[in-house]
Amino acid sequence: MSITQEERNGISEAIYFASMQTTAGEEKRAFWFDKVILTSGKISVCFVDHRVLTGFPEYADRVVEGLDKVVAGSGADYIISSADAGIYWGARVAGDLGLGFVVMRKEGDLCGYIPKGVKVIGVDDLNTTLGTVSKLVQAVGKVNGRIDEVVVDLDREEYEPNSERVFKESGIKLRSLVTLNQLIDYGIRHDLIDSSKVEMVHAYRKDSNMFALDIINNNFQWVAQNKRLEKAREFYKNNPKVSAALEEAVARVA
């Protein structure tokens, strides 16, 4: 079962509006636009932080209700979610629907047990490169379990080629409540994206590799000193142009 456009708009609104001032004096938003190196190592134009969203029950409930609707129609008996980001969403849906629940540790093994013969569905906060969702499938497979699909709140649709190949070969379906393009389109329609960021967003959507090169060449110190530099090196190791630009940035700061 799929969610309606009205439900999708409500989730998009929640992601844009969730923001807070922390006790440390930092402003945190569930969704913001700026140059960033993602956990995967990809250089991106925006960042999604569901840890902020979980601080607003009225917003988080919209997401959970959407996940409930999709998972309820899947016929699943068990839910698997990733540590740490996916636990909140998977546990809530499992509780709402009376399903079993298990967690995949960061190391890729399971915290909990999957009974023989049950149907398992993955539930997670978001997907970017298919890395985590592929690991969910592999974790269930290691214990001879059966998983047919993975459901995420937000799919950035920025698939890493090898993960995409492995995922397609598995025959698993990936479903999302909202895609990044839908979220961006919603923000543009409702003037939720600062005008100074719109051009940057369009450049990223047109060619993310050219965007990465531009960010590196114009922000070499930020890149060289970024805590996710090594992840970026790994992500772009098969992209000669971006990889060379990263090393040049490091050399300029050294």
Structure tokens at 239: 């992209």
Pairing of strands 110-111, 100-104: antiparallel
Structure tokens at 10: 């409500």
- pLDDT tens, per residue, the chain with 254 residues: 789 999 999 999 999 999 999 999 999 999 988 899 998 899 999 999 999 999 999 999 999 999 999 999 999 999 999 998 899 999 999 999 999 999 999 888 999 999 999 999 999 999 988 888 888 988 998 898 888 899 999 998 888 777 777 777 878 899 999 999 999 999 989 999 888 788 888 888 889 999 999 999 999 999 999 999 999 999 999 999 999 999 999 999 98
End-to-end C-alpha distance for the chain, whole angstroms? 54
Q: Which residue has the tokens 């298990």?
A: 102
Fold of 5-206: Rossmann fold (3.40.50)
Residue 146 has a pLDDT of 83
So where are the chain's domains?
5-206, 208-254
Q: pTM value?
A: 0.89
Residue 85 has a pLDDT of 86
